[in-house]
Amino acid sequence: MNFSGKIRVLVTGASGFIGRHTLPELVSHGYDVHAIGRTSLPEVRSVTWHKCDLLMPGAATPIVRALRADHLLHLAWNAVPGSFWSAPDNLDWVAATVQLFRVFAASGGRRAVFAGTYAEYDWSFDLLSEDETPLMPRTLYGRAKGAVREMVLDPNASKDVSVAWGLLFSVYGPGEPRGKLVSDLVAGLLAGQAVDCTEGRQERDYIHVKDVARAFVDVLVSDLRGTVNIASGVCRPVASVINEIARQVGRPDLVRLGMLSLSPNEPQRLAANTTRLFDRVGFRPRFDVAAGIADTIAASRAKIVGNSPGR
């Protein structure tokens, strides 16, 4: 039982790319923050860590029952760049997520927010809107996320828990794993290496990871139910992001546009309608692309210095 009087929040995936940025946001809101996962970040203050493999059946149950958290922010899932789209363990994450939610609800939980994906949408539409665009995922990852969404948003799943589902768009920023455009490009250019890219004509909504963390926390503290796009509201050619990184690093000569081909299934445009996020939740991004890339490059440079011999 929580005797502190604070609202207790349970965060999964807290040591991951997005999760680690949500922790200081939650702490700043005055929550009693608990994180569950395979690894911990001891440098993050005012967070209680619970080591557990969510994919091990039943492993999280005693922890969740003992915590009796008021809120749940579920971010954990397979996010290994490239392979997550078709990884068989997407099915394991469906089972683990549903079980987690059931135990959370049975333990008195009142509010749950889940990380979904723009891959749940039908990509043949230019503007992806929560109420208007069909949900028709093309990948195992998207179908797995969509299956969980349908279950946890069904009012019969738990009448006592308010549930929101955040559909994530293109996230970048400090801590992004290698194998993604921004992380590979920043690392390559800082190392003085040529980097092959597509022509960059495809358009995407890029949002900085710190803004994503704030958006999820804003949704958590709101009364919004159902789906909500987690995006910046600005859809731009990928080439503009590539060129901005090259300009800020000062090595446009190392960027090789047009050397990579897009997948035949790659959509030309993935734009998010952010009316619900902006108007209903009240969220506004703090980073435009220039500021977000500058923050990402600065973090990468600091990591290089920190890892240099003699430090």
User: How do residues 11-34 score in pLDDT, each as one tens digit?
Assistant: 999 999 999 999 999 999 999 999
Residue 42 has a pLDDT of 78
- Identify the pLDDT of residue 264: 84
Beta-carbon contacts of 166 under 8 Å, excluding residues fewer than 6 positions away, are 113, 114, 115, 116, 215, 216, 219, 227, 228, 229, 230
Between β-strands 235-237 and 203-208, what pairing exists: parallel, antiparallel or unpaired? antiparallel
Predicted pLDDT at 4:
59
Instruction: Pick the closest to residue 164 from 207, 209, 116 (CA basis).
Output: 116
CA distances from 296 to 154, 160, 184, 196, 275 (A): 38, 40, 12, 20, 27
pTM of the shown model: 0.95
> 67, 32, 71, 35: which is closest to 54 by C-alpha?
35
pLDDT in the model for residue 1? 42
The pLDDT value given to residue 79: 93
Are 119 and 140 in contact by the 8 Å Cβ rule? The answer is no
CB 87 within 8 A of CB 80: yes
Task: Classify domain 8-172+207-233+271-286 by CATH architecture.
Answer: 3-Layer(aba) Sandwich (3.40)
* Intervals of the chain under pLDDT 50: 1, 3
